[in-house]
């Protein structure tokens, strides 16, 4: 599919980094078509959970987090719950080296985004608006990124494995089992997995389970059901792995 290009007009000089800000709401189950922008985008979810698909993998964006999408990167956005969002479009040269990433939105950055959404599209560089945007950019590059990405391999055989694991998170087949199904040895499977995703088979499956669990947590499902459906022997084992990855226990994540 050829991505649709959204043209927000010719980029201004770097001094006017903010091109436009938008506020919006999307219903659960809705989605965008595959598209791309000529400018960078910071997509911030005040409430709800989004799944964002890019050429680099799938990203989960929980409430009070944001995803940075560089200029020219195609993406699709799926609303996993009712989503209230704020979006700012930024000059493509403002942060040229920042890749796709999910950001922990700080209270300061949140207020800067909410202020920027109300700006006129044109403002003097030496103005309150200009100073707010410069601070917004400084805050973006200073805050931590979050491990919310699931890289998807381009290798067709590995992609089939990944699709099966995504549809059945409780699948316990080992890398050796999958290698046998592919007709290769386990070392070859691991090498190909690492080359195309940057993860081992075990790391990728663990990340897939945790991100799928995150989606279900956002829907209010019980931790015990999610843990057992994700292939964990007990809720405590699931909680320990979740906390190791995300820094908080599952029942505290959305608080």
The mean pLDDT value of the chain amounts to 88
- Tens digits of residue pLDDT in 9-66: 545 444 567 777 889 999 989 999 999 999 999 999 998 889 999 999 999 998 889 9
Cα–Cα distance for residue pair 84/34, rounded to 1 Å: 20
Supply the pLDDT for residue 126.
Answer: 81
- Tens digits of residue pLDDT in 173-202: 999 999 998 899 999 999 999 999 999 999
Residues 6+ apart with CB under 8 A from 147: 207, 245, 246
Supply the pLDDT for residue 6.
Answer: 64
Cα–Cα distance for residue pair 162/87, rounded to 1 Å: 31
Supply the pLDDT for residue 253.
Answer: 80
Map out the domains of the chain with their CATH numbers: 4-149 (2.60.120.810), 152-252 (1.10.10.60)
pTM greater than 0.85 (yes/no)? no
């Amino acid at each position: 599919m050829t991505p649709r290009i959204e043209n927000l007009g010719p980029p201004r000089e770097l001094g006017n980094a903010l091109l436009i800000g938008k506020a919006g709401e999307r219903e659960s189950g809705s989605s965008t078509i595959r598209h791309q922008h000529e400018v960078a985008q910071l997509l911030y979810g005040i409430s709800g959970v989004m799944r964002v698909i890019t050429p680099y993998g799938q990203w989960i964006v929980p409430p009070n987090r944001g995803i940075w999408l560089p200029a020219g990167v195609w993406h699709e956005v799926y609303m996993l719950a009712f989503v209230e969002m704020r979006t700012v479009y930024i000059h493509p040269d403002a942060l040229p080296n920042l890749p796709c990433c999910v950001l922990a939105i700080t209270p300061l950055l949140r207020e800067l985004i909410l202020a920027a959404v109300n700006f006129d599209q044109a403002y003097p560089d030496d103005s309150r608006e200009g100073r707010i945007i410069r601070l917004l950019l400084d805050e973006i590059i200073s805050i931590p990124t979050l491990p919310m990405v699931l890289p998807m391999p381009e290798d067709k055989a590995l992609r089939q494995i990944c699709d099966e694991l995504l549809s059945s998170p409780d699948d316990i087949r080992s890398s050796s089992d999958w290698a046998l199904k592919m007709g290769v040895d386990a070392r070859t499977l691991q090498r190909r997995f690492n080359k195309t995703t940057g993860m081992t088979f075990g790391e990728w499956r663990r990340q897939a389970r945790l991100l799928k669990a995150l989606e279900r947590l956002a829907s209010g499902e019980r931790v015990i059901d999610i843990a057992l459906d994700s292939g964990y022997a007990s809720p405590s084992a699931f909680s320990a792995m979740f906390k190791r990855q995300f820094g908080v226990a599952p029942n505290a994540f959305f608080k």
